[in-house]
Amino acid sequence: MGIKENFSYPLDERWNVQEITDVVDFFTKIEESYQKGVKKQTLKNAYDKFRQVVPNKSEEKRIYREFEQNSGMQPFQAVKQLRDEVVKIIKVTENGYH
List for the chain the helix, strand, coil content (%; round to 5): 60, 5, 40
**pLDDT tens digits along 9-54:** 999 999 999 999 999 999 999 999 999 999 999 999 999 999 999 9
- What DSSP character marks residue 54? -
pTM of the model: 0.90
Q: Which residue has the higher pLDDT, 2 or 32?
A: 32
Q: How far is CA 65 from CA 17, 18, 52, in A?
A: 23, 23, 19
For the segment 49-72, the average pLDDT, to the nearest whole number, is: 96
Of 51, 52, 43, 61, nearest to 97 by C-alpha is: 43
Report, as an integer, the average pLDDT of 66-85.
95
3-class secondary structure, 33: helix
| pLDDT value for 4 | 73
Asked whether residue 98 carries a pLDDT value surpassing 80, the answer given is no
Task: Answer yes or no: is pLDDT of 82 > 70.
Answer: yes
Give the separation between CA 2 and CA 67, rounded to whole angstroms.
13
Q: What is the CA radius of gyration of the chain?
A: 13
